[in-house]
Structure formats: structure tokens, C-alpha cells
Chain A
């Protein structure tokens, strides 16, 4: 009987282990502190935005599936935090590192 139930037990245990690890997500990047403003290149960020962000936020950043960013008043720090952690349907880390800083600089420049 125990042998017959073994696959079910294995299925449940492994699935719960994966769920537990996903709840922990130990390698999730920490959101940068508000005082730490990223240093990005807005011109380079515009090119990255066109390939990685425009699909949802619109080519001119006036919105689409995602909210409008142009004129939104977002700062580079706020954009960096959302890019790192995701929001709504937007996955976390869609761009990372210097690319994220550059996109943040671009979005901040058009959000004013």
C-alpha cells in the first residue's frame, strides 16, 4: 500500500518543497535604497526601452498594456525599484544592472 502511494507522496513533497523555495526566493535582488540614485545613460536607456519596455508601455511611453510613463512624474529611483521587483503583470528584473539604470534614467527624463 505504501509503495502504491509513493508517487503521490513524492509528488506532494517535491511540489511543496518547490513552493516553499518560491515563497522564500532567496536570490531575489533587493530593492535599492531610496537614497541611492542610479547613474544611468538616458540615451542608451531609450534604445533599451524600445526593445524591452515599449511592447507594454507604448513606443512613445504613453501607455498600452502597461501604464503611461511619459509625464508620470516617476523618479529614476522609483523606476529602478519597480524594474527590480516587478509590479502587476510586469515581471521583476525585465532589465537588470546597468541596463536598468539606463532605462530608469530615460524614463525619469520623459516622466518630468
Chain B
């Protein structure tokens, strides 16, 4: 199978659900972004903040945090495939340049965060800084892609 055929098969697969591959990517990224908000809220609760905003126990917060993170990561995989292996790193204007640069760091920050969680003994500020950075990167990516698509191209599936 030629490399170009992979792209066609991917878009055909996505278009069985969404009108276009770009629309599918926009909605999957929106799902990941919404789950990132859940991640920030539950992480804050686990660190003893926002008790009034997130009225659940520590254990429940931890469970929601872990599963929302796993699902968010899964939602980003098709987006990663489309952005990285089909579209590639591009800088024709500020929006796409910011998107390309921020996108390069997503999985690096995820990997570093998972490492810090597994390996104990890091300063207490490292995990929130990594988690906060990941949330900021995901917000930047969503604003420069899905939000732009919904407001400039089309809001629909």
C-alpha cells in the first residue's frame, strides 16, 4: 500500500462518521479539550483547591482524573495522525505556526508528566506545572484549530 493511500483510507474512515476529516478532527480535539478542563478541575480538587466547585471526594476526583486523561489521550490520537503524518509542520501564518509549535510539545509534556507520576521524589511543584502546561498547550491548540474552524469555516459535524 502506498503511503498516500493511508491518507485516503484514513479520511474515508473518518468520513463515515463526520462530513470531512477536518470536521472530525475539530470535534475530536474539542472532546479532548473539554476533558482537559475536567482534568484541571479534578487535579485542583486533588490538591485541595476548588472544593466548592468540584464537590466530590479525593478518591472520586482521582478516578475521574485518570479516566478523563486516558479518554482525552485516545481522542487526540486520530488528531495526531492527521496533523503530524498528513498535514505536517507548517508556518504559512501566525495561527498555523503557533499551532504547529504547540502541537510538537503535547506528547512530550504528557510523557514527562507520566514519568513524574510514576517516579516519586520530584519537587511538589513539578506535577502541577507539567499538568498546567499541558492544559495551556491543549487550550492553545484548540483555539488555533477547532475554534478557528467552527467560527471561520463551519460549525457542524
A binds B: yes
User: In whole angstroms, what is the CA distance A86 to B86 when docked?
Assistant: 11
Q: Is the CB of A95 within 8 A of B20?
A: yes
Query: Total contacts A to B, CB within 8 angstroms?
Result: 131
Selecting from A6-14, A34-42, A69-77, A104-112, the interface stretch reads A6-14
Q: Is the CB of A51 within 8 A of B87?
A: no
Between A and B, 14 residue pairs with Cβ closer than 8 Å are A6-B119, A10-B108, A12-B108, A18-B107, A27-B86, A28-B7, A55-B152, A56-B153, A86-B87, A89-B96, A92-B86, A94-B153, A97-B8, A97-B15
Q: Is A29 part of the binding interface, using a Cβ–Cβ cutoff of 8 Å? A: yes
Interface residues in chain B, defined as those with a beta carbon under 8 Å from any beta carbon in chain A: 3-4, 6-8, 10-12, 15, 19-22, 81, 83-90, 92-93, 95-96, 100, 103-109, 111-113, 115-116, 119, 121-122, 126, 130, 152-154, 156
Contacts of A26 in B (CB 8 A): 3, 85
Contacts of B6 in A (CB 8 A): 27
Interface of B, helix, strand, loop or mixed by DSSP? helix
User: In whole angstroms, what is the CA distance A8 to B105 when docked?
Assistant: 12
Partner of A25, one of B85, B103, B111, B126: B85
User: In whole angstroms, what is the CA distance A10 to B11 when docked?
Assistant: 32
Number of A interface residues in the complex (CB < 8 A): 41
User: In whole angstroms, what is the CA distance A49 to B66 when docked?
Assistant: 41
Partner of B112, one of A8, A25, A88: A8
Partner of B84, one of A18, A51, A88, A94: A18
Known: A14-B108, A27-B85, A93-B87. 6 other contacts (CB 8 A): A16-B108, A18-B84, A23-B88, A25-B89, A27-B3, A91-B87
Q: Is the CB of B104 within 8 A of A51?
A: no
